[in-house]
Amino acid sequence: MDRTFLTTLALVLLTESVSAVVIIGPEEVLIEDKSSANLTCVGSGTNLTAEWRKDGQILSPSDRVQFSAENTSVLISPVRRTDSGEYRCTLSNTNSSNTAAYSLTVNYGPDVRMLGAARVEEGSDILLYCFADSFPFASVTWIINGETVRAALLYILEKSNHSNSGNYTCTAYNDITGLTGTAEHFITVTGKDIDSGLSPGVAAGITVAVICAVELLAVGLYFLIIHLK
């Protein structure tokens, strides 16, 4: 009988099947640009080879992603928000293969910007949306012309007048990252324009609809991401 065939057969018979594969990941909270994440794939079996995937795609080395010599560990340093997702490690040999999954979450933000009109006609509503890109959600504080007011991400002031002109500031705070983001917006309340194509009520309604749609989209995307994880 062919010697090569016998050698191969012996290796197969002596190779232990792959089992009990798990990924050991970081236990501490990960913060963007501050933390590092080390993922280690372990399991039972002999003559093992390892393959890594993130969100279904082959994970490749880069300036931030480094693999161990055996390919069983991955170091990501520093972590970025785009590193959040599902990581899978497959250990295999000539007999079998086994896969483990690990969900990695990177906390980040807030990155803050404000949406709203810079000029508002007297008698119409002032509507501002504070967009805080953050995980987890950031708490929001509004300061209107130096005075702190209570409001959610959407700030509404009905029937504005000239005294409402001024600086509007939104400050968002993420208690996990410990970071604060701020956006400022100056509004001028002008006199009524009798030639305006839209009445203040109609213009305000359109603005509310647009801003609410943006807010609902942001919230929907957040819960979709959490569900997929």
Helix (H, G, I), strand (E, B) or coil at 160: coil
Question: Which tens digit of pLDDT belongs to each residue from 123-180?
Answer: 999 999 999 999 999 999 999 999 999 888 999 999 999 999 999 999 999 999 999 9
Those residues whose C-beta lies under 8 Å from the C-beta of residue 152, and which sit 6 or more positions away, are 140
Q: Which domains does the chain have, with CATH numbers?
A: 3-104 (2.60.40.10), 109-228 (2.60.40.10)
Q: Which residue has the higher pLDDT, 192 or 50?
A: 50
User: What DSSP string describes 173-202?
Assistant: EETTTTEEEEEEEEEEEEPP-TT-SS-HHH
Q: Which residue has the higher pLDDT, 195 or 19?
A: 19
217 vs 55: CA distance, rounded Å: 23
What pLDDT, in 10s, does the model give residues 101-136? 999 999 999 999 999 999 999 999 999 999 999 999
Asked if residue 84 has pLDDT above 80, the reply is yes
Q: Is 146 left (phi over 0), alpha (psi -120 to 50) or beta?
A: left
What span, in angstroms and rounded, lies between the C-alpha atoms of 210 and 221?
A: 17
Q: What is the pTM of this model?
A: 0.76
Confidence of residue 15 (pLDDT cuts 50, 70, 90): low
